[in-house]
Amino acid sequence: MITDARLEKLAKNLVNYSCSVKKGEKVWIDVSGVDYQLVAHLVREIYAVGGYPFVFMSDNRIKREILMGSDEKYWEIMAKRDEEFMNQMDAYIGVRGGQNNFELSDVKAAKMKNYNSVYAQRVHHNIRVAKTKWVILRYPTEGMSQLSKMSTERFEDYFFDVCNLDYQKMSDAMTPLVELMNRTDKVRILAKDTDITFSIKGIPAIKCAGKCNIPDGEVYTAPVRDSVNGVITYNVGSIENGTMFENVRLEFKDGKIVKADANHREKINEVFNTDEGARYVGEFSFGLNPYIEKPMGDILFDEKISGSIHFTPGSCYEDAYNGNQSAIHWDLVQVHTEEYGGGEIYFDGKLVRKNGLFILPELKGLNPDFLK
């Protein structure tokens, strides 16, 4: 159940650990489809550390109406307004809820492209991600419970287990993987309908242990932009712009997606035609959260599945920079546990992980039995 004690602990983690809010810092609290309870706890906690909370509350049903009638000029006006405000912020806490993950499914691709290319690129990619301390959170709702195929009470228990785990312990266990990735050149991934190679040489590996996403649990880097060759087929469905894409298969040549297929072939190519960078990869990451074992159709959970990777077309992050810029950053997930068909990951020809479990002694601390 969602109790005040659970919400208070979550708010303290978000404010003090994830964003490390200090006295005098300004925090944008951006919530969608969420009631007042968590927001109230966040406001109290920010005031308690001497910060200044600025709250914006919205709803995806309203966002859909705005998108339906908007044009490029509209998002230019909104971007200009929010660029100025975001530039004043020291931190950003985004809380996403709502009852329907498919609320935006009937918004035309051209409308979503305007939003992503004009507004999201300028306000979120260029300022929020690059210049603030930020964290994005999903909030448990009945809609999310239904998506996860759990009862509401069971999902709430699961949610707080996932979100309030010991992230410092996880961070410590990630250190050997970060060090290994920083020494690695060639990566090869083998799985069902997948054989792909790329280089990560010279691009830093970054821990994600409760600082930018809740739930969290990944270590990411990026491939050298033109080094990706081969085929990858993702075995987890992904909701993008309100559409569920399944059986996504991408073929790469010298870094570029030269062929994309899925259950919605035309729509997926519309996404990858957003701009040049949308057909190149901006992130390669290991999913490591021990409590997340199966996909539920929400990317903030699915990309952290223990034993998974995500290989992300679109924009890279500044701290793992490979030069790729795009209005798109689409985390597509492949799970390597035996239940999902298995998989192998090689670093410079040496097997590192098999069927979702690390086999090198220095990395076994990241396997689920240790982290729980």
Q: 240 and 130, same structural domain?
A: no
pTM for the model stands at: 0.78
Q: 173 and 304, same structural domain?
A: yes
Q: 205 and 103, same structural domain?
A: no
Q: 104 and 90, same structural domain?
A: yes
Residue 130 CA: distances (Å) to CA of 105, 121, 209, 314, 357: 29, 11, 18, 16, 33
The residue that leads in pLDDT, 211 or 237, is 237
The 10s digit of each residue's pLDDT in 148-206 is: 788 988 888 888 888 878 888 999 999 999 999 999 999 999 999 999 999 999 999 99
Number of domains in the chain: 2
Q: 287 and 252, same structural domain?
A: yes
Q: 173 and 137, same structural domain?
A: no
Q: 333 and 212, same structural domain?
A: yes
Would you place residue 257 in the very low, low, confident or very high pLDDT band (cuts 50, 70, 90)? Answer: very high
Q: 352 and 222, same structural domain?
A: yes
Domain boundary among 129, 163, 197: 163
Q: State the pLDDT at residue 335.
A: 98
Q: State the pLDDT at residue 127.
A: 96
Whole-angstrom distance, CA of residue 249 vs CA of residue 105: 21
Q: 360 and 285, same structural domain?
A: yes
Q: 207 and 253, same structural domain?
A: yes
The 10s digit of each residue's pLDDT in 32-66 is: 988 889 999 999 999 999 999 999 999 889 999 99
Domain boundary among 163, 183, 203: 163
Describe the strand order of the beta sheet including 26-32 as a list of residue ranges.
52-58, 26-32, 91-96, 133-138, 213-214
Domain boundary among 163, 197, 214: 163
Q: 154 and 180, same structural domain?
A: no
Q: State the pLDDT at residue 111.
A: 93
- Range of 295's domain? 167-371
Q: What percent of the chain has a predicted confidence (pLDDT) above 90?
A: 75
Quick one: average pLDDT of 297-322?
94
